[in-house]
Structure 1
Amino acid sequence: MPDDHGINELAEDITDEQLEWLAEKRSNERNFQAYHEIERLIPGFSARIAGMDADTRADFFTLFQKGANDARSDDFGRVSGLLGTWINEDRHKPELKVFDRTPSMMVTDERTGEQRLMEQSAPLLGKTRATRGLPHDIAGALLTSISLDWNDFGTRTKIRNGQEDLNIDYYARVFYDGFNGDPQNLETGFCRSRYLLNAYRAVFTAPSSVVKDDENTPPVKKTKGPNGKCVAVKLGMDGKVTGRSIAYVCAHVWLSLTPATAWTDEYYQVSLPQMYDFLVDYFEAPEAGTQARARVDALLAWWNQQIYPTHSASAATNKTASASRAALRRQRAALEHS
Structure 2
Amino acid sequence: MHAFCNVQTLLTNGIVLLSEEASDNDESLTAIERREYAIFRELLRMVPGLETRLMTSSEEDVMLIGELIQKGVNGARADDTKGMKSAIIDWITPKGQSLNPHIPRNVKSGRGFNHERTGALLCPAGLDWANTETRMKLVNGQIQVAGDQWPIFLYANYTYDAEDPWNGLLRSGLLVSAYKHIFTSPSSVDQEPKATRSGNARIHGMRAVTKASIAYVATQARFSLTSAQVFSRTDLVTDSERFYSTIVELLDDLEEKDEVDQLLTWWNRQIFPLYSDLERLPTKDSALARIRQKRAEYREMSA
Distance 1:168 1:38, change over 3 A: closer
Give 1:168 deviation, angstroms: 6.4
Q: Structure 1 residue aligned with 2:165, among 186, 193, 196?
A: 186
2-structure distance, mates of 1:39, 1:235? 15
Return the TM-score normalized by structure 1.
0.69
Distance 1:58 1:168, change over 3 A: closer
User: 8 Å contact 2:150–2:243 — kept in the other structure?
Assistant: no
* Matching residue of 1:69: 74
Q: Structure 2 residue aligned with 1:208, among 164, 184, 187?
A: 187
> Any idea what the Cα deviations from partners look like across 1:15-35, whole Å, max 9, x if unmatched?
xxxxxxxxx944333322221
Aligned to 1:134, the other structure's residue is in SS state helix
1-structure distance, mates of 2:276, 2:241? 29
Q: Does 1:233 align with 2:202?
A: yes
* Matching residue of 2:276: 314
Aligned-partner residue type, residue 180 of structure 2: R
* Matching residue of 2:283: 325
User: 8 Å contact 1:174–1:195 — kept in the other structure?
Assistant: yes
Return the TM-score normalized by structure 2.
0.76
Structure 1 runs not aligned, ≥5 long: 5-23, 93-119, 214-218, 223-228
> Any idea what the Cα deviations from partners look like across 1:181-230, whole Å, max 9, x if unmatched?
123322110000111111111111111111247xxxxx9xx8xxxxxx64
Give 1:52 deviation, angstroms: 2.7
2-structure distance, mates of 1:267, 1:127? 23
2-structure distance, mates of 1:255, 1:168? 11
1-structure distance, mates of 2:201, 2:120? 31
2-structure distance, mates of 1:251, 1:205? 18
Distance 1:139 1:69, change over 3 A: same
Structure 2 runs not aligned, ≥5 long: 1-24, 295-303
> Any idea what the Cα deviations from partners look like across 1:95-142, whole Å, max 9, x if unmatched?
xxxxxxxxxxxxxxxxxxxxxxxxx96323221223211111111121
Distance 1:326 1:294, change over 3 A: farther
* Matching residue of 1:294: 258
* Matching residue of 1:116: none
Q: Alignment identity in percent? A: 30
* Matching residue of 2:65: 60
User: 8 Å contact 2:158–2:172 — kept in the other structure?
Assistant: yes
User: 8 Å contact 2:147–2:241 — kept in the other structure?
Assistant: no
* Matching residue of 2:219: 251
User: 8 Å contact 2:121–2:151 — kept in the other structure?
Assistant: yes
Aligned-partner residue type, residue 201 of structure 2: A
* Matching residue of 1:106: none
Which 4+ residue blocks in structure 1 deviate beyond 4 angstroms?
1-4, 326-329
Q: How does 1:101-140 map to 2 (within 5 A)?
A: 122-128=100-106, 129-140=108-119
Q: Structure 1 residue aligned with 2:36, among 28, 31, 47?
A: 31
User: How many pairs align?
Assistant: 263
> Any idea what the Cα deviations from partners look like across 1:141-168, whole Å, max 9, x if unmatched?
2112112111111111111111112116
Which is higher, the Rg of structure 1 or of structure 2? 1
